[in-house]
Amino acid sequence: PRVLVLHGPNLNLLGTRQPEIYGAETLDDVNSLLREKAVAAGWDIECQQSNHEGVLIDAIHDARLDGTQAIIINPAAYTHTSVAILDALNAFDGRVIEVHISNVHKRESFRHHSYISLRADGVIAGLGIQGYLVALESIIKAYKK
Ligand code: DQA
């Protein structure tokens, strides 16, 4: 089985961007931890980051065709704006877990609404980068059932 991990805009700056909110670990750290866990469970994993909405949408379209079972997505700011990413995910048949590093509900009110949550099978917020690992664990477990 195969899982796609998608990171939205500004997450390439993880580790240096507002570390008081997003922590000190880099995106490479996150992806390495995910890769380790996925490989140990016998899963293929692809991790992608883009600052461009259309690139994220294209990656979701590719996932429809290449046998991807599940998507872990942190859409970052597009969470709160992107009907287009929601529509792309609605065209994907597998499991979708939405991850936010910070607790978006504790922050500005514009971060309280997520278009992506209309599609997500699960939503994790506020666990730091551990949220990605919990998301992956849930996907591996759900697939075994
Ligand atoms: C975020 C929360 C979003 O509101 C924000 O725009 C981000 C990151 C998070 O991981 O906590 O860029 O998705």
**Above 0.90 for ipTM, yes or no?**
yes
Of ligand 1's atoms, which has the minimum distance to the CA of residue 77?
6
Cβ(100) – ligand 1 distance below 6 Å: yes
- pLDDT on residue 30: 98
Please report, for the chain, the start and end positions of each structural domain, with discontinuous segments joined by +: 2-136
The alpha-helical segments, DSSP class H, found in the chain are 19-22, 27-40, 53-65, 83-90, 130-144
With a CB cutoff of 8 Å and minimum separation 6, the contacts of 77 are 8, 9, 10
State the average pLDDT for the chain: 97
Q: Best substitution site from 17, 98, 101, 124 to test ligand 1's pocket, by max atoms within 8 Å of Cβ?
A: 101
Check: CB of residue 137 under 8 Å from CB of residue 97. Answer: no
- CATH hierarchy code of domain 2-136: 3.40.50.9100
Q: Write the pLDDT tens digit of every residue in 66-113.
A: 999 999 999 999 999 999 999 999 999 999 999 999 999 999 999 999
Question: Does the pLDDT at position 145 exceed 90?
Answer: no
Task: Please give the average per-residue pLDDT across 4-20, as a whole number.
Answer: 96
What percent of the chain is modeled with pLDDT above 70?
100
Tokens of 80: 């709160």
User: How many residues would you count in the chain?
Assistant: 145
